[in-house]
Amino acid sequence: MVNFSFRILCVVALLIPTLVFSSTISGVVKSSEGSVISGALLTLIARDGLYSETAYSDRHGRFKMVSAQQGVLTLRARKAYFADSSMSVESDRQLTITLQKLSSESEISDQLSASAHFTNIHFDDPQARKFFQVDCVSCHQLGNSFTRRPRSTEYWQSVVRRMLGFWGVTDEKWIKQYTSVLKAGFDGNSVVSRQQHNVDPLAQNARVQEWKLPDGLISHDVEFHEADGKFYTVDQNADRIYITDPILNTTETFNLPEMGLPQGGKFFTVFGDSNPMGLSIRHGPHSLQEGPNGHFYTTNAIGGQIGEFDPAKRTYATFEVGGKAMYPHTLRFDDQGQIWFTITMSNQLGRFNPNSGEMTLLDLPATSLRPEVPVFTPYGIDVSPVDGSIWYSRLHANKIGRVDAKTLKIQEFEPPLIGPRRLRFDAAGILWIPAFGDGSIVRLNPTTMEYTTYALPTLADNEIEAPYAVAVHPETQEVWVTANMSDRVFRFFPKEERFVSYPLPTRGTYMRDIIFLPDDRVCGASSPVPAVAVVEGGMQAIICIEPNDGD
């Protein structure tokens, strides 16, 4: 009864701003030539710039936004091949917005998404280009306004050396090749492309919300805590947990205690650099999941630990992974309440029982389809709902694997894709794998080991997407996909084999995982690095899509 009453209170709290304080901004979007513009993004931005909500114009150019925001706000209208328009608005306004069509080649090129500019990256071998995408697009878009600036050979060489150094690659021939393609591809010349920015009728009623995280360095993963209606986001490069109230549009910060760890934790201390990139971190929380006890558990990549955060008491505890484990990465709970997690730099999996404190480490096979890369990068992980087996991906080894949860026997497979990343199961036990280098998602039936590939729709024929993660809606079983080269999120209907894309309002968006809220919103954290340079507005954010099907 207590839980039921609490849920009622939460629902009432969610409804009060809409019922009592709502205002309506509506109107039509037209071109300067007089034609209506469908699929324009109308973004209502709070005065402090830390919260916004976005709607799309329909096929008649019309839009309607019912908002709880009050006072003088900024309304921005945006559509590809048109100049942005911004104005100050107050509540209950009916507007006609006129957008000016871009005419110069350079203006159009500057507005194109990173995916268009990435087409200037050329390799003689198409597969080498896909591996380049795996190696070099893991922190932010490549081809956006910051990363495509013309730079000297020496500058690109230093970037490539650092970039490949993350994966242990020091081969000078390889560094020279990557330097060459970047220098040639991003030469400052305009890109000629005719992208198609159509909004599917199913998506035209959707609403997108953003809560900015102005202090975020790598706001990697986010979870929603139903008990208090707040978001919890870990910051890997700041040893923090951000707690965001989506009703009040406020964010507070919980700083992880030092707990006797040295600066640089375990990971960077081993490499002899206790202050990488000017950071003073000890834990490096990367991934988090809510456990059966209502606490959040984190993989502390830098500290080599599993963390436990009590959101009610605001306390934090850690548990040593131990052994040779380096860089705990992604974690998932099984139906026994145990945590399974990948360990990226030491090529291992871990299992942790929060009740008993027992930690088990499994060494994965030292095999790879890319033997030239000295790390194998165990990455995504999930638990089969059919037999409880554990499935994982190894990003740079280009393999996926299965662990029998009872016998701990390991099997590995070579999937027909490049760059398997954060994979997930659906309720029927079908495994969905994002192919980061291929720009596709792959359906695997573990019973028959049959693979089916679905290429993500691109804005132009010669482009490619970079799907980082998939997630399966617990009720509808639709597959949602983060695609980090064109500022979109995809929704895939398996029965229809059809994609619907949701354009996002912030250029440079880079999402690493997806969660589902009880009210059907689809959310994730956008954490491009460094945000101050590579994303519009210079801040990371929590993003939610409210589909509003049929509304």
Q: Which domain holds residue 514?
A: 197-217+417-551
Element (H, E) at 62: strand 62-67
Query: To which residue do tokens 């059907």 refer?
Result: 520
Pick from 178, 176, 113: nearest CA to 148: 113
In a domain, 89, yes or no: yes
Q: Name the β-bridge partners of 24.
A: 66
Beta-strand relationship, 540-546 and 522-526: antiparallel
Partners of 52 in beta bridges: 45, 210
Task: Retrieve residue 41's tokens.
Answer: 């993004």
148 domain residue, yes or no: yes
Is residue 6 in a domain?
no
Which of residues 39, 65, 99 is at a domain's end?
99
Residues 40 and 137 in one domain: no
Phi then psi for residue 3, to 5 deg, are -65, -40
How many Å apart are CA 319 and CA 339, to the nearest integer?
12
18: number of Cβ within 10 Å = 11
The pLDDT of residue 225? 98
Neighbours of 296 (CB within 10 A): 21
Indicate the number of domains in the chain.
3
Same domain flag for 422 and 519: yes
Q: What pLDDT does residue 207 have?
A: 97
Per-residue three-class SS string for 129-187: HHHHHHHHCCCCCCCCCCCCCCCCHHHHHHHHHHHHHCCCCCCHHHHHHHHHHHHHHCC
527 shares its domain with 453: yes
H helix runs in 22-112, sequence order: 105-111
β-partners of residue 522 are 516, 545
Q: What are phi and psi of 350, to 5 degrees?
A: -125, 155
Residue 341 lies inside a defined structural domain of this protein: no
pLDDT tens sequence for the chain (551 residues):
333 333 333 333 333 333 345 789 999 999 999 999 999 999 999 999 999 999 999 999 999 999 998 889 999 999 999 999 999 998 788 999 999 999 999 999 999 999 999 999 999 999 999 999 999 999 999 999 999 999 999 999 999 998 898 888 999 999 999 999 999 999 999 999 999 998 999 999 999 999 999 999 999 999 999 999 999 999 999 999 999 999 999 999 999 999 999 888 877 666 555 455 566 899 999 999 999 999 999 999 999 999 999 999 999 999 999 999 999 999 999 999 999 999 999 999 999 999 999 999 999 999 999 999 999 999 999 999 999 999 999 999 999 999 999 999 999 999 999 999 999 999 999 999 999 999 999 999 999 999 999 999 999 999 999 999 999 999 999 999 999 999 999 999 999 999 999 999 999 999 999 999 999 999 999 999 999 999 999 999 999 999 999 75
What is the rounded (10 degree) CA torsion for 216, 546, 87, 14? -80
Pick the last residue of a domain from 99, 132, 164. 99
Whether residues 451 and 506 share a domain: the answer is yes
- 37 part of a folded domain: yes
Amino acid at 375: V
Cα 379 to Cα 399: distance, rounded to the nearest angstrom? 10
User: Token pair of 454, please?
Assistant: 């679905």
pTM of the model: 0.94
> How is 202-257 classified by DSSP, letter by letter?
GGTT-EEEEEEETT-S-EEEEEEETTTTEEEEEETTTTEEEEEETTTTEEEEEEPP
Domain shared by 49 and 173, yes or no: no
Whether residues 45 and 94 fall in one domain: yes
- Residue 317: inside a domain: no
In the beta sheet, which residues pair with residue 210?
52, 543
Verify that 504 and 436 share a domain, yes or no: yes
What are the residues facing 64 on neighbouring strands? 26
Structural domain contains residue 364? no
End residue of a domain, out of 83, 99, 115: 99
Residues 439 and 472 in one domain: yes
Residue 382, in any domain of the structure: no
Angle CA 459–196–500, to nearest 5: 70
**CATH code for position 426:** 2.130.10.10
Residues 6+ apart with CB under 8 A from 38: 57, 58, 59, 60, 61, 198, 199, 204
Quick one: pLDDT at residue 533? 94
Place of tokens 């805590």: 225
Show the tokens assigned to 277: 């990139």
78, 128: one domain: no
Q: How far is CA 74 from the centre of its chain?
A: 26
Considering the domain architecture, whether residues 80 and 139 belong to the same structural domain is answered as no
- 26 and 152 in one domain? no
Could you tell me the strand order of the sheet in which 348-352 lies? Answer: 328-333, 339-343, 348-352, 359-363
Residues 144 and 40 occupy one common structural domain: no
Rounded to 5 degrees, what are φ and ψ at 285? -65, 130
- Residue matched to tokens 């096929």: 59
CB 316 within 8 A of CB 308: yes
- The 8-class DSSP code of residue 268 comes to H
